Amino acid sequence: MSTPILGLHHVTALAGPPQRNVDFHVGTLGLRLVKRTVNFDAPDVYHLYYGDRIGTPGSILTFFPFPMAAAGTFGVGESIATAFAVPAGAVDAWMERFADLAVDFDAPTERFGQRVLAFRDADGMPFELIETPGLTSEPGDADRVWTDGPVDDAEAAIRRFHSVTLLVDRPTDTARILTDVFGYEEGATEDRRTRFSVAGEGAVHIDLLTPAQVTPRGRSGHGTTHHIAFRTPDDETQATVREQLMSLGLGVTTVQDRNYFRSIYFREPSGVLFEVATDPPGFLIDEDLETLGSALKLPPQYEPRRAQLEASLPALQV
């Protein structure tokens, strides 16, 4: 039986200066800048999208870079770590790269039988690289992997997301959303962490972590996650998911057109902001593959303000 959710679509976070954000995620991690546009609610702020070579859903990390934003704090009701999948054996190469570039990282650990390397980006956002067997044999891997940037070794390059970790104080209620509505299956538990997985090529795990003690809620700011977005194949499936969520008494938004996908939003019982986004139309609707991410793309409502916005937004060097 098919599931309404295909895995993760994207993760969106808050950042400080946009050039610093580009320098780290392109220059250090070797991701491709697949789209540069603006925040729909604050068009004087960029919305930057990073991902694999073709902008595959499940590889997309996005940021709202507010240059003057204060640092956030982590707590209950937040995504507290975003993990990328890298090929088996790649962690050693990444430790060497991080050491050369003066990136702080932790000693490797093991989780659910996989090697994990934790680090933080330039804004203090927590990330992980997790060695994931079978990545290089996935259908389409050679077409998706981005090696035209500073990380040109296909045996080390980031492929897609592996998992996100949510710190929750109502794990049973959060799990109900994942299993009963989204179609995830509950898996193993390690150290207060339970993994939920959904079938499908390149699907992304959701780890629910319960705090060891009473933990305050976090505060938004640079270095924290704004929301996580799950992917669904089409508008009809998204509408069905919306109806199911509303039947559980959750406050779900109407469909929002985000140009490259259509979205609904709600807060799950522990407070994490969830989005359900459609795969279509995708990031190639207004740029071809070769020029992806090279020009400022504006939503139609802001095109009349293009000259003003281009003059006010800081220039980016990629």
The pLDDT tens digits of the residues spanning 252-300 come to: 999 999 999 999 999 999 999 999 999 999 999 999 999 999 999 999 9
Is residue 128 predicted with pLDDT exceeding 80? yes
Q: State the average pLDDT over residues 62-81.
A: 93
Strands, E, within the chain: which ranges? 7-15, 32-39, 42-51, 60-65, 78-86, 109-111, 114-120, 126-131, 160-167, 185-190, 193-197, 205-209, 225-232, 256-257, 262-267, 273-278
Q: What value does the mean pLDDT of the chain take? A: 95
Nearest partner of 27 among 143, 119, 165, 122, judged by Cα: 122
Q: What are residue 190's DSSP bridge partners?
A: 193
Identify the pLDDT of residue 3: 81
Predicted confidence (pLDDT) per residue in 187-210, tens digit: 999 999 999 999 877 778 999 999
Identify the pLDDT of residue 2: 63
Q: State the average pLDDT over residues 289-315.
A: 96
Identify the pLDDT of residue 202: 73
Identify the pLDDT of residue 254: 98
At a CB cut-off of 8 Å and minimum separation 6, what does 249 contact? none
Is residue 215 predicted with pLDDT exceeding 90? no
Residue 309: which H helix or E strand, with range? helix 306-312
Is residue 212 predicted with pLDDT exceeding 50? yes
Confidence of residue 68 (pLDDT cuts 50, 70, 90): confident
Q: How far is CA 49 from the centre of its chain?
A: 9
Are the CB atoms for 223 and 71 separated by under 8 Å?
Answer: yes
Is residue 41 predicted with pLDDT exceeding 80? yes
Place of tokens 């995620």: 25
Give the strands of the sheet with 225-232, arranged side by side: 32-39, 42-51, 60-65, 7-15, 225-232, 273-278, 262-267, 256-257
Identify the pLDDT of residue 1: 45
Nearest partner of 167 among 76, 97, 92, 87, judged by Cα: 76
Check residues 69 and 229 and name the one with the higher pLDDT: 229
Identify the pLDDT of residue 36: 97
Confidence of residue 218 (pLDDT cuts 50, 70, 90): confident
For the chain, the residue count is 318
Kindly report the backbone phi and psi dihedral angles of residue 110, in degrees, each rounded to the nearest multiple of 5, phi listed first: -125, 135
At a CB cut-off of 8 Å and minimum separation 6, what does 111 contact? 130, 190, 193
pTM: 0.96
Residue 93: which H helix or E strand, with range? helix 91-100
Is residue 138 predicted with pLDDT exceeding 90? no
Confidence of residue 185 (pLDDT cuts 50, 70, 90): very high
Place of tokens 């925040």: 39
Predicted confidence (pLDDT) per residue in 240-256, tens digit: 999 999 999 999 999 99
Please give the structure tokens belonging to residue 269: 């019982």
Place of tokens 């050679």: 142
Q: State the average pLDDT over residues 21-39.
A: 98
